[in-house]
Amino acid sequence: MSKHEITVNVNGTDYTEEVESRLLLVHFIRENLDMTGTHIGCDTTSCGACTIQVDGQTVKSCTMFAVQANGKSVKTIEGMANGAELHPLQEGFWEMHGLQCGYCTPGMIMQADHLLSKNPNPTEEEIRWGISGNLCRCTGYNKIVEAIEYAADKIANPETEAAA
């Protein structure tokens, strides 16, 4: 197997590792870096459980090689909270009951974070379209949409309590 040395900035920290050229980014994150918040669901980009951000764009990490992330900035669910303080999206999922089994939640939050970075005040329809590449088998999406609306309100008005 061909090995390559890569350096990837993950959640603000540079990691240099020697990896096989066939190693998927999701496995690099989970196994090499021991960040297990990014989940593996389908390995075909269908479910979105492995959604992360690479250079500010959402990526389904089950179909990207780790070597393709060389020199790039990666954000995972572990990079969302500020120490013990939850990100408004994480808080929204908690407060609005936007999760049941929780398997899809990290990818859903990463997709929602990207959506809110591009559209800080989305309509319900825009939220539904924005997360349409991420599947949830438990919730029916209504509570997920409410969680994202909660987070958008909290981000826009950090000094006030978001409407629960």
pLDDT in tens, 103-154: 999 999 999 999 999 999 999 999 999 999 999 999 899 999 999 999 999 9
- Its pTM stands at 0.94
Q: How many domains does the chain have?
A: 2
100 and 51 share one domain: no
Determine the pLDDT at residue 158: 87
Confidence of residue 163 (pLDDT cuts 50, 70, 90): low
**Residue range(s) defining the domain that contains residue 122:** 88-156
Which of 79, 97, 119 is the last residue before a domain boundary? 79
Answer for the pair 122, 116: CB distance below 8 angstroms, yes or no.
Answer: yes
59 pLDDT more than 80: yes
Quick one: average pLDDT of 14-40?
98
Determine the pLDDT at residue 48: 96
User: Does residue 47 lie within any of the structural domains?
Assistant: yes
At CB < 8 A and 24+ separation, what contacts does 94-100 make?
A: 95/147, 95/150, 95/162, 95/164, 96/143, 96/146, 96/147, 96/150, 96/164, 97/143, 97/147, 98/139, 98/143, 98/144, 98/146, 98/147, 98/148, 99/138, 99/139, 99/143, 99/144, 100/138, 100/139
